[in-house]
Chain A
């Protein structure tokens, strides 16, 4: 396959970037999108040019690093996959492909296609600890958990923090990600002690990072490579509402955590 690529090039966080056009030829339709980029970077290196910086790690859809906004869509034209799981057979010979970094105030560009997603880490950190006993492994059924809750918590925990939800959302809202992180604990008995404080803290941090609001367009759910459901956003909205209503004023107590 022969393709024309228009790729966002930006030297560093401070400099202005622009789309630069590249030609690649003899691309196998069975290559992944990242492998196609490897071929392009080999070309650039052999010409003595600066290769295109892009994030990647596992290349099998589990780490969430490979952020690329391809032809107007997060992770390209397919749904339910990451960029590393996208193959060149999803394109036609002669196509022009536009590749941009995630665009959001909370995800500043570091270089080329690499963005800083540490806002997600700070939101998770703000969630705090969960009160569980440590020590030797517990007996499997020590804490009874309804199968349905276990399944739903597992589905929420499948979020890989890729940020496609933010990238695709017209408001750059992080609510699908945050709600997945809140839900995976809110659904389980181990998550209950800090449940309502956690949702308040994480939403506060989400707002601070500069993500937008949710307009319930549902775009995130369509583009999420892990099929995280809007159900989670509704759960977060419920929990936050309840937490705001029952929140008590902070009191200085004589020691202990929180």
Chain B
């Protein structure tokens, strides 16, 4: 983390890792729209498998923390690099809003992650590792995951916050996806246009998918 470029590499690698994680998270969540049963069984597997719980989960946590700390470090350094601001400055003439506001969209995602942990992760940790109930069952002896999910999305305020957060995620990825490749030097006239298109598609479709899931559960429970 000593040089400007090594910070960029870590930023890009952790960002790409989070993109892969996001794809996996989306796939599992989408199961809840298709089939309650398979969502329950996959959730139970993810929630109790030791490799997922004790290897992948810590790696993910470290990845997230690493990513936003590196992001804050870059932001501080960048602000210090221009102590006197311009009286007139028109950055919109030569760059996109998304590319200039990664820290803004990033902080919004971070705030969302706080809520998301409060909603799902902390209760989950409590049940499994403090109350030591690894069964994944509720009082009626059925899997509890699907019901818990639906329950959260009966609250319209929460649904709105989730949907807004996904918009910020979309804006973050709209620049971030292709930017990560550039940071690592992966640029080539043959592949870069494709990477940019894939990034734009990913940045729209995945957050949109999450929004669909949230709205689906909200609407079907009312």
A residues apposed to B, CB below 8 Å? 6, 8, 19, 69, 71-73, 77, 79, 98, 100, 103-106, 168, 170-173, 203-204, 206-207, 210-219, 222-223, 230-231, 233-241, 244
* Residues of A contacting B220 in the complex (Cβ-Cβ under 8 angstroms): none
Q: Specify which chain B residues have a CB less than 8 angstroms from the CB of A73 in the assembled complex.
A: 90, 93-94
Residues of B within 8 A of A173 (CB): 4, 78, 81
Find residues 169-185 in chain B having any chain A CB closer than 8 Å to their own CB: 175, 178-179, 182-185
Instruction: Give bound CA distance, A19 to B85, whole Å.
Output: 13
Contact B82 A98 (CB under 8 A): no
Assess whether B100 is interfacial by the CB under 8 Å rule: yes
Which residue in chain A gives the minimum CB-CB distance to B80?
A: A105
- In the assembled complex, the Cα of A99 lies from the Cα of B178 at a distance in Å of 34
Which of B's residues lie within 8 Å of A, judged by CB?
3-9, 74, 77-78, 80-91, 93-96, 99-100, 102, 175, 178-179, 182-187
Q: Are A218 and B94 in contact (CB under 8 A)?
A: yes
Closest to B91 in A: A170
Which partner residue on chain A sits nearest B89 by CB separation? A72
Docked pose: A233 CA to B183 CA in angstroms: 8
Using A213-B77, A215-B78, A240-B5 as known contacts, say yes or no to A100 and B86 having CB atoms under 8 A apart: yes
Q: How far is the CA of A242 from the CA of B99 in the complex (A)?
A: 26
- Contact check, A203 vs B182: say whether CB atoms are below 8 A apart: no
Given A170-B91, A171-B78, A230–B182 Cβ distance below 8 Å?
Answer: yes
Question: A219 and B187 in contact (CB under 8 A), knowing A203-B5, A244-B6?
Answer: no
Q: Smallest distance from the beta carbon of B9 to chain A beta carbons, Å?
A: 6
Complex interface: chain A residues within 8 A of B182 (CB): 216, 230, 233-234, 237
Cα(A213)–Cα(B186), bound, Å: 18
Assembly CA distance A166 to B90 (angstroms): 14
- Contact between chains at A241 and B184 (CB < 8 Å): yes
What separation, in Å, do the CA atoms of A217 and B174 have in the docked complex? 12
Partner of B78 from the list A170, A206, A216 (CB cut-off 8 Å) is: A170
| A110 to B184 alpha-carbon distance, docked (Å) | 37
